[in-house]
């Protein structure tokens, strides 16, 4: 596929670490905003309707659904999820560049340890 002028411009800008970090954060905020709006839409609610359930204002719901808003608190997201019959899941992922340091690994899978037949 042929690159557009915008593709070339974005490639150049992404070489700047500061720009790349801001771009990544904006994408995360966009994802949260779209998920909230999608949940609300699936529930057949307007922003005003969701605001009524959360005992807040329509403006606050609009803010939560704004891609530029980065003030989402975990408590507030949990309130939204609760009234929408959903759950909030936060995932920390390792950075893509390999620095050789290993602080975060892939998502851990937790299992319940079962008692063995011998020890019971």
> In whole angstroms, how far apart are CA 7 and each of 1, 4, 12, 35, 97?
11, 5, 9, 26, 22
Residue 106 C-beta-side C-alpha neighbours within 13 Å:
2
pLDDT digits (tens, 9 = 90+) for 1-16: 677 786 787 788 879 8
pLDDT digits (tens, 9 = 90+) for 14-46: 798 887 777 777 677 788 888 999 999 999 999
Q: Are 32 and 47 in contact (CB under 8 A)?
A: no
Single pTM value for the model: 0.61
- In b/e form, how buried is each residue of 39-56, taking b as 16+ CB within 10 angstroms? bbeeeebebeebbebbeb
The token pair at 119 is 């020890």
What is the distance in angstroms between the CA of the first residue and the CA of the last residue of the chain? 63
Separation between Cα atoms, residue 8 and residue 31, nearest integer Å: 24
Express each pLDDT in 59-75 by its tens digit.
Answer: 999 999 988 888 889 99
H or E element at residue 115: none
């Amino acid at each position: 596929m042929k690159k557009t002028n915008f593709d070339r411009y974005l490639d150049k800008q992404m070489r700047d670490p500061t720009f790349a970090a801001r771009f990544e954060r904006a994408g995360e905020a966009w994802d949260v905003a779209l998920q909230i709006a999608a949940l609300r839409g699936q529930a057949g609610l307007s922003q005003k309707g969701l605001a009524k359930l959360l005992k807040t204002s329509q403006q606050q719901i609009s803010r939560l659904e704004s891609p530029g808003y980065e003030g989402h608190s975990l408590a507030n997201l949990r309130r939204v999820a609760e009234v929408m019959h959903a759950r909030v899941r936060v995932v920390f992922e390792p950075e893509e560049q390999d620095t050789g340091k290993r602080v975060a690994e892939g998502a851990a899978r937790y299992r319940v340890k079962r008692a063995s037949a011998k020890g019971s």
